[in-house]
Amino acid sequence: MTATPDLSTPPEIGGIGHSVLRQEDDRLIEGQGDFLDDLVLPGMLHMAIHRSPVAHARIRGIDTDAASAVEGVVAVVTGELMAAHNLAWMPTLSGDTQAVLATDKVRYQGQEVAAVLATDPYIAADAAGLIEVDYEMLPAVTGPQQSLSADAPVIRDEKEGQTDNLVYTWSSGDQAATDAAFAGAAKVVSLETFYPRSHPAPLETCGIVADVNSVTGQATVYLTSQAPHAHRTLFALVAGLPEQKIRIISPDIGGGFGNKVPIYPGYVVATAASLLLGTPVKWIESRSDNLISTGFGRDYHMRGELALDSDGRILALRADVLSDQGAFYSDAQPSNFRAGLFHVVTGSYDFPAAHVTCKGAFTNKAPGGVAYRCSFRITEASYLIERLVQNAAYEIGMDPAEFRLLNFIREDQFPYTTPTGFTYDSGDYHTAMRKAMDEVGYQELRATQATAREEGRLIGIGIAHFTEAVGAGPSRTYDIAGLKMFDSAELRVHPTGKAILKLGVKTQGQGHETTFAQIVASELGIPVTDIKVVHGDTDNTPYGLGTYASRSTPTSGAATSMVSRKLADKARKIAAHLLEAAEADIDLAAGVFSVRGTPDRSVTIQDVAFAAYTNMPEGLEHGLEGSSYYDPPNLTFPYGSYIVVVEVDAETGVWKVDRMVALDDCGVRINPMIVEGQIHGGLTEGFAKSSMQWITFDDDGNCIGSNFMDYLVPTAWETPRFELLETCVPSPHHPIGAKGVGESATVGSPAAYVNAVIDALAHLGVRNIDMPVLPDRVWDAIESAL
Site residues for ligand CUN per CB under 6 A: 226, 256-258, 261, 370-375, 548-549, 743
Report the sign of the C-alpha dihedral through residues 141, 143, 148, 150, in that order: negative
Among 92, 379, 547, 706, indicate the residue that binds ligand MCN (CB under 6 A). Answer: 547
Residue type, 75: A
Q: Would you call 374 a catalytic residue per the annotation? A: yes
Task: List, in order, residues 6 or more apart from 760 with CB less than 8 Å away.
Answer: 458, 459, 460, 646, 647, 648, 655
Interaction of residue 548 with ligand MCN, rule CB under 6 A: yes
Q: Got the DSSP string for 204-243?
A: S--EEEEEE-TTT--EEEEE--S-HHHHHHHHHHHH---G
Interaction of residue 549 with ligand MCN, rule CB under 6 A: yes
Among 94, 142, 508, 522, indicate the residue that binds ligand MCN (CB under 6 A). Answer: 508
Out of 98, 285, 743, 767, pick the active-site residue. Answer: 743
d(CA 191, CA 173): 19
- Give the number of other CB atoms < 10 A from CB of residue 287: 14
Partner from ligand MCN, ligand CUN, none contacting 22, C-beta within 5 to 8 A by type:
none
Between 182 and 372, whose beta carbon lies closer to ligand CUN? Answer: 372
Between 375 and 560, whose beta carbon lies closer to ligand CUN? Answer: 375
What residue is closest to ligand CUN based on CB?
258
Provide, rounded to whole angstroms, the least separation between the CB of residue 736 and ligand MCN: 8
d(CA 317, CA 310): 16
* Helical (H) or strand (E) element with 761: helix 744-761
**Considering CB under 6 A, how many residues would be counted as binding ligand MCN?**
36
Burial of residue 213, with CB atoms counted within 10 A of its CB: 0-12 exposed, 13-18 middle, 19 or more buried = middle
Partner from ligand CUN, ligand MCN, none contacting 667, C-beta within 5 to 8 A by type:
ligand MCN
Burial of residue 38, with CB atoms counted within 10 A of its CB: 0-12 exposed, 13-18 middle, 19 or more buried = exposed
Provide, rounded to whole angstroms, the least separation between the CB of residue 746 and ligand CUN: 8
Provide, rounded to whole angstroms, the least separation between the CB of residue 559 and ligand MCN: 12
Closest CA to 253 of 282, 284, 274, 218: 284
Interaction of residue 257 with ligand MCN, rule CB under 6 A: yes
Strand partners, 639: 467, 665
Provide, rounded to whole angstroms, the least separation between the CB of residue 379 and ligand CUN: 8
Among 316, 666, 751, 758, indicate the residue that binds ligand MCN (CB under 6 A). Answer: 666
Between 530 and 743, whose beta carbon lies closer to ligand CUN? Answer: 743
- Contact between 683 and 750 under an 8 Å Cβ cutoff? The reply is no
Provide, rounded to whole angstroms, the least separation between the CB of residue 32 and ligand MCN: 18
Among 381, 645, 670, 729, indicate the residue that binds ligand MCN (CB under 6 A). Answer: 670
Between 15 and 504, whose beta carbon lies closer to ligand CUN? Answer: 504
Interaction of residue 561 with ligand MCN, rule CB under 6 A: no
Question: Which among 43-51, 136-144, 510-518, 604-612 is the span making contact with ligand MCN, rule CB under 6 A?
Answer: 510-518
Peptide bond into 415 cis (omega under 30): yes
Out of 197, 373, 387, 659, pick the active-site residue. Answer: 373
Interaction of residue 510 with ligand MCN, rule CB under 6 A: yes
Strand partners, 306: 189, 317
Query: H helices within 352-504, ranges in order?
Result: 378-396, 400-407, 429-440, 442-454
Between 258 and 419, whose beta carbon lies closer to ligand CUN? Answer: 258
Provide, rounded to whole angstroms, the least separation between the CB of residue 429 and ligand MCN: 18
User: What is the pairing mode between strands 97-99 and 89-91?
Assistant: antiparallel
* Helical (H) or strand (E) element with 324: strand 314-326
Closest CA to 101 of 246, 293, 261, 321: 293
Site string for ligand MCN, 589-608 (x = CB under 6 A): --------------------
Question: Which among 39-47, 62-70, 300-308, 662-670 is the span making contact with ligand MCN, rule CB under 6 A?
Answer: 662-670
- Give the number of other CB atoms < 10 A from CB of residue 25: 13
- Contact between 661 and 643 under an 8 Å Cβ cutoff? The reply is yes
Q: Within positions 177 to 206, which residues make up the interface with ligand MCN, using CB under 6 A? A: 202
Between 79 and 202, whose beta carbon lies closer to ligand MCN? Answer: 202
SS3 call for 364: coil
Provide, rounded to whole angstroms, the least separation between the CB of residue 317 and ligand MCN: 26
Partner from ligand MCN, ligand CUN, none contacting 142, C-beta within 5 to 8 A by type:
none
Output the CA torsion 428→434→440→445 (10° steps).
140
Among 107, 387, 465, 551, indicate the residue that binds ligand MCN (CB under 6 A). Answer: 551
584 secondary structure, DSSP code: G
Provide, rounded to whole angstroms, the least separation between the CB of residue 260 and ligand CUN: 8
Interaction of residue 509 with ligand MCN, rule CB under 6 A: yes
Partner from ligand CUN, ligand MCN, none contacting 662, C-beta within 5 to 8 A by type:
none
Q: Would you call 743 a catalytic residue per the annotation? A: yes
d(CA 224, CA 783): 48
- Contact between 486 and 473 under an 8 Å Cβ cutoff? The reply is yes
Core vs surface per residue 533-564: b (16+ CB within 10 A) or e = bebbbbeebbbbbbbbbbbbbbbbbbbbbbbb
Q: CA angle at residue 399 from 725 to 385, to 5 degrees?
A: 70
Question: Which among 52-60, 151-159, 646-654, 667-675 is the span making contact with ligand MCN, rule CB under 6 A?
Answer: 667-675
Number of H helices, E strands in the chain: 20, 35
d(CA 544, CA 490): 11
Interaction of residue 511 with ligand MCN, rule CB under 6 A: yes
Out of 23, 109, 226, 678, pick the active-site residue. Answer: 226
Question: Which among 154-162, 255-263, 329-337, 750-758 is the span making contact with ligand MCN, rule CB under 6 A?
Answer: 255-263
Partner from ligand CUN, ligand MCN, none contacting 90, C-beta within 5 to 8 A by type:
none
Core vs surface per residue 710-736: b (16+ CB within 10 A) or e = ebbebeeeebbebebbbbebbbebbbb
Provide, rounded to whole angstroms, the least separation between the CB of residue 203 and ligand MCN: 9
Between 509 and 632, whose beta carbon lies closer to ligand MCN? Answer: 509
Between 377 and 767, whose beta carbon lies closer to ligand MCN? Answer: 377
Between 251 and 460, whose beta carbon lies closer to ligand CUN? Answer: 251
d(CA 60, CA 62): 7
Between 198 and 364, whose beta carbon lies closer to ligand CUN? Answer: 198
d(CA 764, CA 711): 32
Partner from ligand MCN, ligand CUN, none contacting 552, C-beta within 5 to 8 A by type:
ligand MCN
d(CA 272, CA 237): 14
Question: Which among 158-166, 454-462, 717-725, 741-749 is the span making contact with ligand MCN, rule CB under 6 A?
Answer: 741-749
Interaction of residue 740 with ligand MCN, rule CB under 6 A: yes
Out of 24, 318, 333, 374, pick the active-site residue. Answer: 374
Site string for ligand MCN, 348-377 (x = CB under 6 A): -------------------------x----
Partner from ligand CUN, ligand MCN, none contacting 741, C-beta within 5 to 8 A by type:
ligand MCN
Partner from ligand MCN, ligand CUN, none contacting 436, C-beta within 5 to 8 A by type:
none
SS3 call for 340: strand
Query: Under the rule (CB under 6 A), what is the footprint of ligand MCN?
Result: 202, 255-258, 373, 508-512, 515, 547-553, 557, 666-671, 674-675, 678, 681, 738-743
**Could you give the residue numbers annotated as active site?**
226, 373-374, 743
